[in-house]
Structure 1
Amino acid sequence: VFQGRHVKTGQLAAIKVMDVTEVPAAPSLLLPRLSMPDAVDGLTLLLVPS
């Protein structure tokens, strides 16, 4: 789980990113989603490990 702040509003957000080990089939396809998960609806966040 990552904690981040919305860059523009400063709103706190928590993002759970699926462990790639849970998806053995073509994990490389998931890598682009790690930088902008669908869960945050495309908001730009500064991510830091919690």
Structure 2
Amino acid sequence: MLLHSPTGLVLSRDGGGTWQLDAPRSAEALVGHSVRVTGQRIGFDRLSVITITRC
């Protein structure tokens, strides 16, 4: 599930845990929806998004 947080966009995983996302502005349209993200890990809990699509 893609959510807003005080620091930006967050991917909340079904199995628990969250990832902070460095995503394009267009990803805002997907907030509140289940999404599939591909990206590159750039920190402990941060992903640089390559693609993000609604499931």
Structure 1 or 2: more strand by fraction: 2
Bigger Rg over Cα = 1
| Greater per-residue helix proportion | 1
TM-score when normalising by structure 2: 0.30
Normalising by structure 1, we get a TM-score of 0.31
